[in-house]
Chains A and B, each alone.
Chain A
Amino acid sequence: MRRVNKDERARISFTLNGRAVAGDAESRMLLTDFLRYVVGATGTHVGCEHGVCGCCTVLIDGAAVRGCLTLAVQAEGRAVTTVEALASPDGSLSALQQAFQQHHALQCGFCTPGILMSFTDYLARNPHPTEDEIRKVLSGHLCRCTGYAGIVAAVLAVSSNLP
């Protein structure tokens, strides 16, 4: 039985983007804060911090989930994937990121990391979604700049190139 008492800082380790990471955290620390402040991976953004806006979406064992509704201690032993994993080490963008750029699917970019992670999971399960299906997945995110049209166009474009 794993136990972390409230006044204790526990050693937490998991795999982040294929690399082992570890750090100390209180039981109440959210995964988003652990990523940003303990590990220093600031690609994951924090918007509403109660599961509504979707900015903080990361993959845990491949599934897109809200980082702000996950405790850091719950990530122990898991594989966490964040937006930092999408581009190649040489900086070239993934197909999804390129499509976002081409279709003006972002303006300020604050919500973008979460949306990219959602569709990374969703397109792996359903490589050829309809526009309606894309909009349903997108309903789990809030973007205040784009009006969503560019995002839908980008996902449709990238899915048309998938096998």
Chain B
Amino acid sequence: MKPRRFDYVRPDSADEAVAVLAEYGEDASVLAGGQSLMAMLNLRLAEPAVLIDIASLKELDYIRVGDGKVEVGAAVTQNRLKDWPELAGKLPLLAAALPFVGHFQTRNKGTVCGSIAHADPSSEIPLVLATLGGEVVLRSHRDARVLAAADFQRGTLTTAREPDELIMAVRFPLQPTGRVAFREVARRHGDFAIIAVAACVEDGDTVRIGIGGIADRPAARRATIDCAAAAKDIFESLAFELKGYDDLHASARLRRDLLRRIGPVVVEEALRCAA
């Protein structure tokens, strides 16, 4: 299908983009890579009156390291970050997860921040941001604010972004150890994850665990795993707590079962990793 009519605006700067957003608010959608939004426009699931295209804003196309974080601007594509030479050293968990994001062809255009903005509960990038305890940088004509990942994603396709706010960047905290693991189960490579599990060893036996595809947003926990039984227990109780959901791809029961089976394996993989 074809999109409904809309006014198309391509600002020359982030300031201009924020000003246009202030003018239209709820009637506007921000277009970056468009790998979710354009499909929703074509299917008429989204019908904004105004489309604000920020994809070609050079000032938002940056990857910056500082203050213990990697900041990724709103125009950075998923493949650009995936091919960033420092990624594996600085953010090994993200390096492990990015190949699972869509396909080569969609990562060429899809943006890192766009994935955060779309907030699909089975998405890999929001899962990594939540697992690492990252932040989202927002700006409006009123003010600028930084939200923790956990405060930003509120539910399925729902975030704390106000209608006049632009996501300027996301910040991933540098990982203290390179000991990470990531696995997901999907019907085919690149499909939506039925379940995705991320683990990152902080120090000793403290592990950050993230789970996608089981609730309306990524679930992130910090746990002490000192024996194989501890890992098993944690995923047993997480499966009970998070419940899962039924959809076209899998039943809630299958999701819980996959979590119980894959979770401990992922944690063990991360703990076994040489630093």
Contact = CB atoms under 8 A, between A and B. Distances in A.
A70 B108 contact: no
B105 A57 contact: yes
Nearest to B4: A28
Interface string A59-83: 0000111101111011000000000
A51 B42 CA distance: 10
A4 B1 CA distance: 21
A6 interface: yes
Contact of B104 (A2, A27, A50, A64): A64
B9 A2 contact: yes
Given A64-B108, A65-B109, A140-B190, A27 B39 contact: no
A50 B103 contact: no
B105 A54 contact: yes
Contacts, number: 109
Interface stretch (B10-18, B116-124, B154-162, B216-224): B10-18
Interface string A22-49: 0000111010010000000000000001
B105 A70 contact: no
A118 interface: yes
Nearest to A140: B103
Contact of A50 (B9, B11, B39, B55): B39
Interface string A1-31: 1111111000000000000000000111010
B35 A50 contact: no
Nearest to B16: A1
Nearest to A64: B105
A3 B108 contact: no
B125 interface: no
B2 A65 contact: no
A29 B109 CA distance: 18
B28 to A, nearest CB: 13
Contacts of A118: 104-105
Nearest to A137: B104
Nearest to A135: B189
A1 B34 contact: no
Contact of A136 (B8, B12, B34, B104): B104
Nearest to B55: A74
Contacts of A146: none
Contact of A139 (B9, B35, B188): B188
B3 interface: yes
B6 A69 contact: no
A52 to B, nearest CB: 8
Contacts of A69: 34-35, 38-39, 42, 106, 109
Contacts of B143: none
Contact of A4 (B4, B8, B11, B106): B8
B1 A65 contact: no
Contact of B189 (A49, A122, A139): A139
A5 B7 CA distance: 4
B105 A27 contact: no
A135 B103 CA distance: 11
Given A5-B7, A27-B51, A74-B55, A136 B42 contact: no
A48 B176 CA distance: 44
B268 interface: no
Nearest to A77: B56
Interface in B90-134: 99, 102-106, 108-109
Contacts of B144: none
A63 B11 CA distance: 23
A51 B106 contact: yes
Contact of B8 (A27, A64, A121): A27
Contacts of B12: 1
Interface of B: 1-12, 16, 20, 34-35, 38-39, 41-43, 49, 51, 53, 55, 79, 99, 102-106, 108-109, 188-190
14 contacts: A1-B12, A1-B20, A2-B10, A3-B10, A4-B7, A6-B6, A28-B4, A28-B8, A30-B2, A54-B103, A65-B108, A66-B105, A118-B105, A136-B104
